[in-house]
Chains A and B, each alone.
Chain A
Amino acid sequence: MYPAVTLLLSLILTAAVSAADDATIKAGVFSPPRLAPDFSLNGSNGSELKLSTYRGKVVVLAFGFTSCPDVCPITLATLAQARKKLGADANELQVVYITVDPERDDVERMRAYLVAFDPTFVGGTGTAKQLDAVRKEYGIIATRKVVGTSPLYGHSSFTYLIDAQGKLRALMPYGHSADDYVHDLRILMAKKS
C-alpha cells in the first residue's frame, strides 16, 4: 500500500515541479513536447551528423547560413557566450547549426565558420533535398533572394532547445541574451535524469 502511495505522490510532485519549471522558462515552451525529428547530414566535424548522437545532452538547434550578415553571427556569438557561462555544465550542451545554403556551405566552410565561435559547435550540411526535408520536419522557413550577385536567405531566426531525452522542448526567439539561454539550459539540464 505505502509504496504505491509513495510512487503516486512522487509522480505528482515530479509533474508539479516540471510544470513549474516550464512556466519559468524564458523561451516558448511546447506542450506536450514531441520527439525532435532525427536527421542524417554531413557534419562539419567530418562525421555523419545525427541528432540522436547527442541523446543525453541538451541540444540547441539553429538554422542559418555562413554568409548571413546579421542574425547568425549574433546568435552563434550569444550561444558561445552562454556556453562559457555554463562553466563545467557546458559539457552537457551541444550546439548544432544546420545550413540553409547547400550551394556554398560545404563541410569545410562550415567547420571554419563555426570554429571561430566555439570549437565544439557542429554544423550540418547536405544536398538541397536533404536540407529541405529537415527544414520541413522542424517548420523552418528559408527564402532565397539574390542581392547583387550573391544569394541571401531570409530564414527562421529562432533556435530550438532539445532536452537530453531528445524532446523538442522550447523555441528561443532571436535576440535573447546569453543569460536567458543559460537560465533555460540549466533548467533542461536539471531534468536530465
Chain B
Amino acid sequence: MNALRRHWLLSLISGVAVGATAWAGIAPIQSPSRETLFEIPKGTWARRMSGSKIEILPEEIRLTIGLSDILVLRNLDDVPQIFGPTLMMPGQSLRLPFEVASSYTFACTAHLSGQMTIVVDPWPASPWARIRWRVRQLLT
C-alpha cells in the first residue's frame, strides 16, 4: 500500500515537473517593461565619503533583446557621479538601448576590475531558451 502511494506521489511530482517545464518552454514570454533601471539614491556620495562601501551597479548586467533591452541609469544624488560608463549630473538619467545581442564592456572605475560588462542575450526563441530565461528570472 505504501509502495503504491509512493509511486502515485512520484508520478504526480514528475507530472507537475514535466508540465511546468513544458509550460516554461512553450508559453510566450512577456515583459511589463523593457527598461532595467539602476539608480544612485540621494545621499550616496555623503555615505561614501563617510566610509560606507556602496555598490549600485553589478559588475555584470544581463539584458535580453525584446524583453529587457534598455538600460536606464539615474543619478538621484545631489552631486555629479561617475555611473557606469559615464559622468552623470544630479537628476540626470541615461537611457541606453541595445539592439544587438552581444557582450558590451565599458570602462568603469566603480568596480575593482575597472570595467562593467553588459551581456545582451538574444530573444529566447526556442523552448530551451525560454526555459533558461525563466529559470534565470527566478534566480535573480
Contacts and interface: CB of A to CB of B under 8 A. Distances in A.
Contacts of B87: 137-139
Interface string A130-167: 00000001110101000000000011111000000000
B99 interface: yes
B107 A30 contact: no
B89 A34 contact: yes
A155 B105 CA distance: 11
Contacts of B11: none
Given A34-B89, A139-B87, A154 B95 contact: no
A156 B85 contact: yes
B97 A171 contact: no
B110 to A, nearest CB: 10
B94 A28 contact: yes
B102 interface: yes
Q: How large is the interface on B (under 10, 10 to 19, 20 to 34, 35 or more residues)?
A: 20 to 34
Contact of A32 (B92, B96, B100, B109): B92
Given A155-B107, A175-B102, A26 B97 contact: yes
A189 interface: no
B21 interface: no
A90 interface: no
Contacts of B119: none
Given A139-B86, A154-B107, A156-B106, A173 B96 contact: yes
B85 A30 contact: no
Interface in B84-126: 85-89, 91-97, 99-100, 102, 104-109, 114
B37 interface: no
Interface string B5-16: 000000000000
A139 B94 contact: no
B104 A141 contact: no
A36 to B, nearest CB: 11
B82 interface: yes
Contacts of A193: none
A29 B95 contact: yes
A39 to B, nearest CB: 14
A154 B93 contact: no
A31 interface: yes
Q: Which 3 A-B pairs have the closest CB atoms?
A: A139-B87, A28-B96, A141-B107
8 contacts: A28-B96, A29-B96, A31-B93, A32-B92, A138-B86, A173-B85, A175-B100, A175-B104
Given A29-B94, A143-B114, A158-B86, 7 more contacts: A28-B71, A28-B94, A30-B94, A141-B109, A141-B114, A156-B107, A171-B96
